[in-house]
Structure 1
Amino acid sequence: MPCWAEDDFDLPAEVCQLGLSEPVCNRKYVMYHGTTSQIAQAILATGFRQSSGGMLGRGVYLSRDLEKASRYPIDHPEHDRVVIKVVVNVGKVIAINYKGHPKQKTWHDYGYDTAWVPPRCGMVKSGLEEDCVWDPNRITILNVIKPQGEREQGRCGQY
């Protein structure tokens, strides 16, 4: 598995670090979106767009966990994967913490801006957290992180 190093760990003003607790409403968080190099270029040019569906319905799928984002797209060659680092104003957040949750795909209809799947709740195979943001305008792109060779310069730890 390649190492996903970030060049800097300085957070923009008023942005919270990763935590395993539920994102707090109306706060800003650094999140990550894994994709291919080609799709990343399109996102950089035109911004994010909602997916047509998925585990949480329509929205932009992200994670506060770089490890989670670096796995996407699944079944795509590792050398062509990149991760887009963003800041998200999560707005009103709902926890979708079990399969079959009554608002699993309709959360936005109830006034929520972000759906959050907690880590280790049984909904995501990896056990890592996931977020779905309804409005792409809540997302500000910071930069693109490219994989580095395993243990390059001794900076990578094991996951």
Structure 2
Amino acid sequence: MWAEDDFTLPSGVVRLGQTEPQDGYTYIMYHGTTKQAANQILNTGFRQSAGGMLGRGVYLSRDLQKASRYPLELPENQRVVIRVKVNVGKVKRIDNQYHPLRTTWHENGYDTAWVPPNCGMVKSGLEEDCVWDPNRITVLDFIQPKMQQPQCHSRW
């Protein structure tokens, strides 16, 4: 079970909405990873992935539920989510597998690619973002799963 602690948004940051990220805005986003990788990111910063659905970049989501699923193959207790703030720059909406800029959005002048929720590109139906330049991303903190307490049943 994942939960985000209540916190005050940093100045100039916008909370998640169902709308497309707006050019030049700064958003809170999340990146799911292993505890080991999270510590490395904290020490050396994010690096672009070699590829993926949207090509090279740093894969994030404004949806904590989406990020908390990664890495998919690991049990929940071995995952961590990094909360970041991101200036998205110029955003390109990529809403289908055959979009002409699906993997070349950056070469066409965009800083972030955005996959809207429920557009058929992501199995979970949750939004996804890909940020080209890791320098647009500032690590805020880590979120770990909150372990559910076992239920005690009395026989009295």
Task: Give the TM-score, by structure 1 length.
Answer: 0.92
Q: Which residue among 128, 131, 134 is the counterpart of 1:130? A: 128
Q: Tell me how far 1:44 sits from its aligned partner.
A: 0.4
**Separation (CA, whole Å) in 2 of partners of 1:51 and 1:36:** 15
**Which amino acid letter does the alignment assign opposite residue 106 of structure 1?**
T
Corresponding residue number in structure 1 for 2:107: 109
Structure 2: 5+ residue stretches without partners: 151-156
Q: Tell me how far 1:151 sits from its aligned partner.
A: 6.9
Corresponding residue number in structure 1 for 2:41: 43
Corresponding residue number in structure 1 for 2:78: 80
| Structure 1, 6-15 or 28-37: larger mean CA deviation | 6-15
**Separation (CA, whole Å) in 2 of partners of 1:145 and 1:72:** 13
Corresponding residue number in structure 1 for 2:22: 24
Corresponding residue number in structure 2 for 1:156: none
List 4+ stretches of structure 1 deviating above 4 A.
none
Percent identity between matched residues is: 67
**Separation (CA, whole Å) in 2 of partners of 1:130 and 1:17:** 15
Structure 1: 5+ residue stretches without partners: 153-159
Partner SS for 1:52: coil
Corresponding residue number in structure 1 for 2:148: 150
Corresponding residue number in structure 1 for 2:64: 66
